[in-house]
């Protein structure tokens, strides 16, 4: 591993108190939906998106169903990019007995507005990726993205977050969706850095945590998470290379069949371990499946299977 010479001696960021969020949270307990049709009826789920043909969600949820020992139907639903078309597609699916749905880009904000009520983490994210029908007919909007990241880190990679110094690169929707679940595991501190510093300050202010300019970061973090869109363009974010010195995990929310540009850059400059977001994808699906069915899937064998499949 490459360690850069001439590093400055730095004081680690101050330990942050338990998070106090700067937005109202509905703490009412919402009873999970339970399928009430005849046992021989196969529950139906879908994922709404555009594009959606590439989605691995049907495959992942079928793996979960096999673990549970049940049959489910899980489809992809392509929707035109308008609020009216999304609302109509979601309403039709749910009125026809859909037992739950996932929502991917570009509809997560439409889904937030469509839902009748929201989980705490959906409110924190300002977006919804899961619909959970309730017994009273209402639709609970949840966001399992951050929970998926945490499950991958803890259950699959074996990393305990408590007491860790975490740097989150990016201040868009992907970053916002993971902050609250990360804070729930009591890291020593969580810092947000972004190319546009004002956006980092704005997002950090919501969660009462620290912000930093992207180009002025120092090498004092245990875990560095890339929530920017850089890997979509096969590039690494514009950060000082020495921030990876002493970093034991560099994690990219984006996933691919080979190491992303961020993962390669981090490894070249000192990160002890790198990982992409495939495990997060499986983890967020598992969190949704557990809400729908009350069964907690084991994500590790599903991740291994998808990796092996990609290598073929």
- Could you report the per-residue pLDDT of 175-206, keeping only the tens digit for each? 999 999 999 999 999 999 999 999 999 999 99
pLDDT at position 67 is 98
Q: Taking residues 215-225, what's their average pLDDT?
A: 94
pLDDT at position 23 is 41
Asked if omega into 204 is within 30° of 0 (cis), the reply is no
With residues binned 3-state (H G I as helix, E B as strand, rest as coil), the percentages for the chain, rounded to 5, are 40, 15, 45
Q: Taking residues 207-222, what's their average pLDDT?
A: 94
Split at pLDDT 50, 70, 90, the class of 26 is very low
Q: Could you give the domains of the chain?
A: 44-143 (3.40.50.10860), 147-277 (3.40.50.720)
Catalytic option among 8, 15, 56, 108: 108
Does the structure show a pLDDT above 60 at 1? no
Which residues face 224 on adjacent strands?
Answer: 167, 250
pLDDT at position 41 is 87
Distances (CA, A) of 41 to 28, 38, 63, 70, 73: 31, 5, 19, 11, 10
pLDDT at position 112 is 98
Does the structure show a pLDDT above 60 at 149? yes
Please identify which residue in the block is written with the tokens 């540009």. 261
Q: For residue 8, indicate whether it is catalytic.
A: no
Mean pLDDT for the chain overall: 89
Instruction: Quote the CA–CA distance of 152 and 109 in Å, as a whole number.
Output: 25
The closest alpha carbon to 46, from 106, 104, 115, 108, belongs to 104
Does the structure show a pLDDT above 50 at 18? no
288, containing H or E segment: helix 278-293
Instruction: Quote the CA–CA distance of 88 and 149 in Å, as a whole number.
Output: 31
pLDDT at position 215 is 85
Q: Which is more confidently placed, 27 or 310?
A: 310
* Residues whose CB is less than 8 angstroms from the CB of residue 152 and which lie 6 or more positions away in sequence, other chains included: 275, 277, 279, 280, 282, 283, 299, 303
The closest alpha carbon to 70, from 61, 79, 59, 82, belongs to 61
Please identify which residue in the block is written with the tokens 């004081």. 11
pLDDT at position 15 is 46
Instruction: Quote the CA–CA distance of 249 and 225 in Å, as a whole number.
Output: 8
Q: Taking residues 253-269, what's their average pLDDT?
A: 96
Does the structure show a pLDDT above 80 at 33? no
- Could you report the per-residue pLDDT of 265-311, keeping only the tens digit for each? 999 999 999 999 999 999 999 999 999 999 999 999 999 999 999 88
- Could you report the per-residue pLDDT of 60-113, keeping only the tens digit for each? 999 999 999 999 999 999 999 999 999 999 999 999 999 999 999 999 999 999
Split at pLDDT 50, 70, 90, the class of 312 is confident
- Could you report the per-residue pLDDT of 71-83, keeping only the tens digit for each? 999 999 999 999 9
- Could you report the per-residue pLDDT of 240-255, keeping only the tens digit for each? 999 999 999 999 999 9
Instruction: Quote the CA–CA distance of 211 and 216 in Å, as a whole number.
Output: 11
Kindly tell me the sign of the dihedral angle through the C-alpha atoms of 294, 255, 131, 157. Answer: positive
Q: Taking residues 124-144, what's their average pLDDT?
A: 97
Instruction: Quote the CA–CA distance of 264 and 262 in Å, as a whole number.
Output: 5
Most distant pair of Cα atoms in the chain: their distance: 69
pLDDT at position 284 is 99
pLDDT at position 144 is 98
Does the structure show a pLDDT above 60 at 31? no
* Residues whose CB is less than 8 angstroms from the CB of residue 268 and which lie 6 or more positions away in sequence, other chains included: 2, 241
């Amino acid at each position: 591993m490459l360690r850069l010479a001439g590093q400055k001696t730095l004081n680690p960021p101050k330990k942050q108190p338990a998070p106090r969020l700067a937005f109202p949270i509905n703490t009412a307990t919402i009873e999970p939906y339970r399928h009430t049709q005849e046992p021989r009826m196969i529950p139906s789920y879908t994922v709404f998106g555009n594009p959606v043909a590439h989605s691995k969600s049907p495959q992942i949820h079928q793996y979960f169903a096999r673990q549970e020992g049940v049959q489910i139907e899980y489809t992809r639903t392509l929707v035109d990019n308008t609020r009216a078309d999304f609302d109509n597609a979601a309403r039709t699916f749910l009125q026809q007995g859909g037992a739950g749905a996932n929502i991917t880009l570009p509809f997560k904000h439409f889904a937030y507005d469509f839902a009748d009520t929201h989980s705490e983490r959906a409110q924190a994210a300002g977006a919804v990726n899961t619909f959970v029908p309730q017994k009273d007919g209402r639709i609970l909007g949840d966001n399992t993205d951050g929970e998926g990241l945490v499950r991958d880190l803890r259950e699959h990679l074996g990393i305990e977050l408590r007491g860790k110094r975490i740097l989150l690169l990016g201040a868009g929707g992907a970053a916002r969706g993971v902050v609250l679940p990360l804070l729930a595991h009591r890291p020593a501190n969580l810092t947000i850095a972004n190319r546009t510093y004002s956006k980092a300050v704005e997002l950090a202010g919501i969660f009462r945590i620290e912000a930093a300019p992207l180009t002025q970061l120092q090498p004092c973090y245990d875990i560095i998470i890339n929530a920017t869109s850089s890997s979509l363009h096969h590039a690494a974010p514009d950060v000082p290379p020495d921030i990876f010195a002493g970093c034991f995990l560099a994690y990219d929310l984006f996933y691919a069949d080979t190491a992303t540009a961020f993962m390669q850059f981090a490894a070249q400059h000192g990160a002890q371990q790198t990982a992409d977001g495939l495990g997060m994808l499986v983890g967020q699906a598992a969190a949704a499946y557990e809400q729908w069915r009350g069964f907690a899937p084991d994500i590790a064998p599903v991740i291994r299977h998808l990796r092996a499949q990609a290598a073929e």
